């Protein structure tokens, strides 16, 4: 090995993280760009990362099947055989959509997904994992489909580090999806070999600190590996707040197999967001973020972390959630609140908003419409959710008349990155490219760790 000063081995960015992770996924760097909904993690972003030997996940959440399939076609054509994956997001409100996305991935041979927002495993995610499982000529179990699970809770991590649940395997055998022999092979594989410990991040987050979450999941990894003795050795990566060389160095020093970023990639020119949002993100400081109700799991009280500076979205969305909780339906809304919603937020009447919301769901998920027509509270939830959905679209499109309504998912990583980039060429939004940012962070992390080791070994 190449030795530097003081007998410390040269540490290159290519050496950071788990070697088997890089090998299995055919990567140069143990660096991943996480999925970002509505195609914010765009085909362009995914392609750039794949071309540079890094992994990225296309942001399939929030998109219809045709859009996702178009992205599959595009990447298959522009980056054949390159390492990349797609997002599989748990959709408790739209179970048919989650199942449809899995159908699509299986049909189109998507071999790697980032599974996220799961609270418990579902039949579709298990079906994805076990489809095609077999023994190779040497008798090793081969699983064509791999899951990188992103979690922030031990209970969820435990499920992904366990073999697929027997009741789901039995159901798949009954439906003729897998054979009995495949079900018994599946009893000795983990649902996910790779699991990302997601600390305080942009978007869905439990706001956990990485310095406590990562060590907890590393201990869990060792325990589960010990219990099950998997051939596919379990690995844990780190996400949430990673956007500086020091942050990445800390994650690798704690034992992360890989690092995964999000917020900082949205600020890059390849993201499917708009220049207006990129400009806002470049001005964000550490505290310019807030929690706001999530469009997809609104009724359940789930929240997402968003940008606060330059938009009124977090306050407006919180108001909608409070009104949803307090009222039986739109008809019961106090006059002043109704007027505020119609004038400021929807810019149309509640009746008209319901009509367009209904049109949207008739094709996407007709079950929602049937339920809403019976249940006024559900009707209100769908209309309020439509504002939350549109607010993301306005941001992505850079709609100038709706700046105050922009919903921009963002974590404290953004402010940390801006502070670090200040005075460098990366300060300007137009210079931020996903690969350049990733390489700057990985190079910086390697330098920082090397200086740390040298400092330790050169002391008497």
Site residues (vs ligand FMN, CB under 6 A)? 34-37, 40, 59, 61, 87, 89, 114, 116, 150, 198, 201-203, 239-242, 260-264, 266, 409-411, 413
Q: How far is the CB of 58 from ligand FMN (least distance, A)?
A: 10
- Residue 306 C-beta: closest distance to ligand FMN, Å: 9
Query: Based on CB atoms, which residue is closest to ligand FMN, 261 or 274?
Result: 261
CB of 391 to ligand FMN, least distance (A): 13
Whose Cβ is closer to ligand FMN: residue 162's or residue 207's? 207
Could you write out the DSSP letters of every residue in 253-288? HHT-S-EEE-HHHHTSTTSSS-HHHHHHHHT--TT-
Report, in Å, the least distance between residue 420 CB and ligand FMN. Answer: 13
Taking the complex as a whole, how short is the minimal distance between the CB of residue 365 and ligand FMN, in angstroms?
Answer: 18
CA distances from 391 to 247, 265, 360, 375 (A): 31, 20, 15, 25
Cβ-based neighbours of 254, under 8 Å, separated by 6 or more:
210, 211, 214, 215, 218, 238
To the nearest whole angstrom, how small is the minimum distance from the Cβ of residue 414 to ligand FMN? 7
Q: How far apart are CA 165 and CA 167, in angstroms?
A: 6
Q: How far is CA 288 from CA 202, 266, 281, 303, 305, in A?
A: 12, 16, 10, 16, 10
Query: Treating both helix axes as pointing N-terminal to C-terminal, what angle do 245-254 and 434-458 enclose, rounded to 10 degrees?
Result: 60
- CB contact set of 287 (below 8 Å; sequence gap of 6+): 412, 415
Instruction: CB nearer to ligand FMN: give 148 or 178.
Output: 148
Q: Please tell me what DSSP assigns to residue 9.
A: B
Q: Decide whether 40 or 68 has the Cβ nearer to ligand FMN.
A: 40
Q: Which residue is nearest to ligand FMN (CB)?
A: 262
Q: Which is nearer to ligand FMN, 31 or 354 (CB)?
A: 31
Cα 215 to Cα 31, 120, 204, distances in angstroms: 19, 22, 21
Considering the complex, state which of residue 147 and residue 333 has its C-beta at the smaller distance from ligand FMN: 147
Residue 10: phi, psi to the nearest 5? -60, 135
Which one, 263 or 357, has the nearer CB to ligand FMN? 263
User: CB of residue 41 vs ligand FMN: minimum separation in angstroms?
Assistant: 7
Least distance to ligand FMN, CB of residue 7, Å: 35
Of 290, 319, 308, 138, nearest to 200 by C-alpha is 290
Nearer to ligand FMN, 118 or 168 (CB): 118
| Alpha helix (H) residue ranges in 292-345 | 313-326, 335-340
């Amino acid at each position: 090995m190449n030795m530097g000063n003081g007998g410390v081995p040269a540490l290159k960015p290519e050496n950071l993280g788990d070697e088997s992770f890089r090998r299995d996924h055919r990567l140069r760097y143990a660096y991943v760009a996480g999925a970002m909904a509505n195609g914010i993690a765009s085909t362009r972003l995914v392609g750039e990362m794949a071309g540079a030997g890094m992994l990225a996940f296309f942001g399939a959440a929030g998109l219809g099947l045709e859009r996702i399939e178009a992205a599959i076609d595009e990447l298959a054509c522009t980056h054949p055989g390159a390492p990349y994956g797609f997002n599989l997001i748990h959709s408790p409100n739209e179970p048919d959509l989650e199942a449809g996305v899995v159908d699509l991935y299986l049909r189109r041979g998507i071999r790697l997904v980032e599974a996220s927002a799961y609270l418990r495993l579902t039949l579709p995610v298990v079906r994805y994992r076990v489809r095609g499982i077999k023994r190779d000529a040497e008798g090793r179990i081969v699983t064509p489909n791999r899951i990188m699970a992103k979690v922030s809770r031990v209970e969820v991590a435990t499920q992904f580090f366990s073999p697929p649940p027997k009741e789901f395997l039995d159901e798949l055998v009954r439906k003729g999806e897998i054979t009995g022999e495949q079900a018994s092979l599946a009893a000795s594989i983990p649902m996910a070999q790779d699991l990302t410990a997601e600390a305080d991040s942009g978007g869905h987050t439990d706001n956990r600190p990485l310095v406590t979450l990562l060590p907890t999941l590393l201990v869990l990894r060792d325990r589960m590996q010990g219990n099950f003795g998997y051939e596919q050795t379990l690995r844990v990566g780190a996400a949430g707040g990673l956007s500086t060389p020091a942050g990445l160095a800390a994650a690798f020093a704690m034992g992360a197999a890989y690092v995964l970023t999000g917020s900082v990639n949205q600020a890059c020119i390849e993201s499917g967001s708009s220049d207006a949002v990129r400009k806002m993100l470049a001005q964000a400081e550490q505290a310019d973020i807030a929690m706001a109700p999530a469009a997809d799991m609104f009724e359940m009280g789930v929240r997402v972390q968003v940008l606060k500076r330059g938009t009124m979205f977090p306050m407006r969305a919180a108001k909608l959630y409070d009104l949803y909780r307090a009222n039986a339906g739109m008809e019961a809304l106090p006059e002043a609140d109704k007027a505020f919603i119609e004038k400021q937020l929807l810019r149309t009447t509640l009746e008209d908003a319901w009509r367009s919301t209904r049109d949207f769901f008739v094709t996407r998920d007709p079950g929602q419409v049937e339920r809403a027509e019976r249940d006024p509270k559900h009707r209100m939830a769908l209309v309020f959710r439509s504002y939350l959905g549109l607010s993301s679209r306005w941001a992505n499109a850079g709609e100038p008349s709706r700046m105050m309504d922009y919903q921009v998912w963002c974590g404290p990583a953004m402010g940390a990155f801006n502070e670090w980039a200040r005075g460098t060429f990366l300060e300007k939004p137009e210079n931020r490219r996903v690969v350049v940012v990733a390489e700057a962070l990985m190079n910086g992390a390697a330098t920082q760790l090397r200086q740390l080791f040298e400092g330790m070994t050169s002391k008497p």
